[in-house]
Amino acid sequence: MVATSPASTPALKRSVGRRMLLVFVIGDILGAGIYALTGKVAGQVGGAIWIPFLLAFGLAALTATAYAELVGRYPRAAGAAVYAQRAFGRPFVTFLVAFAVLMSGITSASAAARAFGGDYLAELVTVPTLVAAWAFVLVVAVVNAVGVSESVRVNLVLTAIEVTGLVVILVIGARAFLAGEGDPGRAMTLSSDGPVWMAVLGGTALAFYALLGFEDSVNLAEECRHPRNDFPRALFGGIAVAGLIYLAVAFTTSMLVDTATLAESTGPLLEVVRVAGLVFPPWLFALIALVAVSNTALINMIMASRVVYGMSREGIVPSWLGRVDRRRRTPWVAIAFTTVIALTLVSTGDLSGLADTTVLLLLLVFAVVNVSVLVLRRRPEDRDARIEGDGPRGFRAPTWAPVAGAVVSLVLASPLTGRSGDVYARAGLLLGIGVVLYVVNRLFVGPARQADAIDASAPTDSP
């Protein structure tokens, strides 16, 4: 079990351009979160659900500055794991970061699969949730295995459809506001059984799930034509577009639907369509919502499989997990591996629990990434291979941004948010499984061979 040399296996195909990458970021953010969890946020903070979304947007922007700088230095598929390895040089830390990212993607896809079988699907047909979720995950795996450019093109179509659904909500909201309908005052009201600040923190942590996705695009670095130039624009552009849409949708939802109804619904935006004066079939909107949920799962499973591939290339997990199909040029073993885990997870936990577990894992990763960019700045220039057409310099984040990003990430990951103990237990169990896998891999590979494998997978001067 020694990592395979890059020369002996086909490299990933560089087929993702800037526009496609921007669509990828927007499509990953706009998905299950806003369609399924808006009501859960309302249950925590009352009518002013736009406030947690605004705070979550700010945190995403802070952490995106660190990712934008680091992806220019190290355009590698493993993303956060590469940054941790370069910054700290501790294989165990690198593995935990990579495993946390991997599991966050799979838990997110599992949450999306659960959402697929909720109120939106019930509007169309009655199918057992577990059956629908399993079939859903398998279809996503097939699309992922066909090829990244094909997968991202499917993402483009799905993104267009899910944006259409959000535009419908915005049109409904604009019409209602101009006609004096609904209750705009409700959208400005914070209410909670406990301290308001704790409710806002908890709501922000949950709302942050809806903004996750910007970090997934980093794992496509090896399949992007010009990562150093394209990623900063795609990251910040995607976050800005998604953030503005989310704020408007959150305000509209609270203005038109009472908080109690939202808190009980797994299809909160469907409630908006039902009370609207416009003639828009609820079944059609439910279909659009299902497409949005599907897109979230697709992007997360693409990310998870690329993380496994990147880990294998770094010698952190067995090399066979990084095998690439010579015809499709996709990491087919990694795709199969992540699909099996998703099929297992989807049968346990509920929507909000899996979503909150995803957020907790990624908040810990974000704290490490923000610290990593500060550590790496203290070292001599050691950029990875320059891709032809990229500029010599990449984006540089203002120092205060990663500092603030690390602090805020740790605060939102703490019990101050009122997060359930079950979420911490689930995240701890997943990381514990990772520790076991790491120990087993070390026993078979050994420290020396693992070091050789990491050296063998280091970048060369050619693309």
CATH number, domain with residue 278? 1.20.1740.10
Residue 275: count of CB within 10 angstroms of its CB: 14
Instruction: Over range 127-143, report the average pLDDT.
Output: 82
If one counts the domains in the chain, the total is: 1
Angstrom distance (rounded) from CA 60 to CA 39 = 21
Decide if pLDDT at 223 tops 90. Answer: no
Decide if pLDDT at 386 tops 50. Answer: no
Instruction: Over range 213-233, report the average pLDDT.
Output: 72
pLDDT of amino acid 101: 82
Query: Mean pLDDT lowest for which of 104-118, 183-197, 213-227, 289-303?
Result: 213-227
Residue 89: count of CB within 10 angstroms of its CB: 10
SS3 content of the chain, % helix, strand, coil (to 5): 75, 0, 25
Tokens encoding 276: 């609207």
Instruction: Over range 46-53, report the average pLDDT.
Output: 89
46 strand-pairing partners: 190
Contacts of 139 (CB under 8 A, 6+ apart): none
Please report whether residue 47 resides in a domain: yes
pLDDT of amino acid 454: 42
Please report whether residue 9 resides in a domain: no
pLDDT of amino acid 314: 66
Decide if pLDDT at 389 tops 60. Answer: no
Q: Which residues constitute the domain of residue 143?
A: 15-380+396-456
Angstrom distance (rounded) from CA 5 to CA 10 = 10
Decide if pLDDT at 152 tops 70. Answer: no
For residue 351, what are the CA distances in angstroms to 115, 206, 274, 304, 347?
A: 6, 11, 23, 19, 11
Residue 63: count of CB within 10 angstroms of its CB: 30
The rounded mean pLDDT for the chain is 79
Residue 57 CA, chain-centre distance (Å), reads 14
Helices 196-211 and 351-376 pack at an angle, to 10 degrees, of 80
Please report whether residue 8 resides in a domain: no
Residue with tokens 């922007």, as numbered in its chain: 61
Please report whether residue 463 resides in a domain: no
pLDDT of amino acid 401: 93
> What would you measure as the largest C-alpha separation in the chain, in angstroms?
71
Q: 7-24 in b/e burial notation, b at 16+ Cβ within 10 A? A: eebeebebbbbbebbbbb
Query: Rounded to 5 degrees, what angle do the CA atoms 187, 190, 193 make?
Result: 140
Q: What 3-state DSSP class applies to 142?
A: helix
pLDDT of amino acid 6: 43
Residue 139: count of CB within 10 angstroms of its CB: 13
For residue 250, what are the CA distances in angstroms to 30, 178, 424, 445?
A: 13, 17, 28, 50
Decide if pLDDT at 455 tops 60. Answer: no
Please report whether residue 390 resides in a domain: no
Contacts of 443 (CB under 8 A, 6+ apart): none
Instruction: Over range 42-55, report the average pLDDT.
Output: 89
Decide if pLDDT at 17 tops 80. Answer: no
pTM across the whole model: 0.79
In contact, 8 and 73? CB cutoff 8 Å = no
Decide if pLDDT at 404 tops 60. Answer: yes
Percentage of the chain lying above the pLDDT 70 cut? 82
Please report whether residue 292 resides in a domain: yes
Q: 410-420 in b/e burial notation, b at 16+ Cβ within 10 A? A: ebbbeeebebe
Please report whether residue 461 resides in a domain: no
Instruction: Over range 294-303, report the average pLDDT.
Output: 79
Query: Mean pLDDT lowest for which of 2-6, 39-43, 306-310, 344-348?
Result: 2-6
Tokens encoding 153: 């093109």
Angstrom distance (rounded) from CA 75 to CA 234 = 15
By residue count, the chain amounts to 463
Instruction: Over range 104-111, report the average pLDDT.
Output: 87
Instruction: Over range 430-436, report the average pLDDT.
Output: 84
Contacts of 45 (CB under 8 A, 6+ apart): 51, 52, 190, 191, 192, 196, 199, 200, 202, 203
pLDDT of amino acid 405: 93
pLDDT of amino acid 345: 81
Residue 379 CA, chain-centre distance (Å), reads 30
pLDDT band, very low/low/confident/very high, at 410 (cuts 50, 70, 90) = very high
pLDDT band, very low/low/confident/very high, at 217 (cuts 50, 70, 90) = confident
Backbone angles phi, psi at 231, to 5 degrees: -65, -45
pLDDT of amino acid 65: 92
Please report whether residue 404 resides in a domain: yes
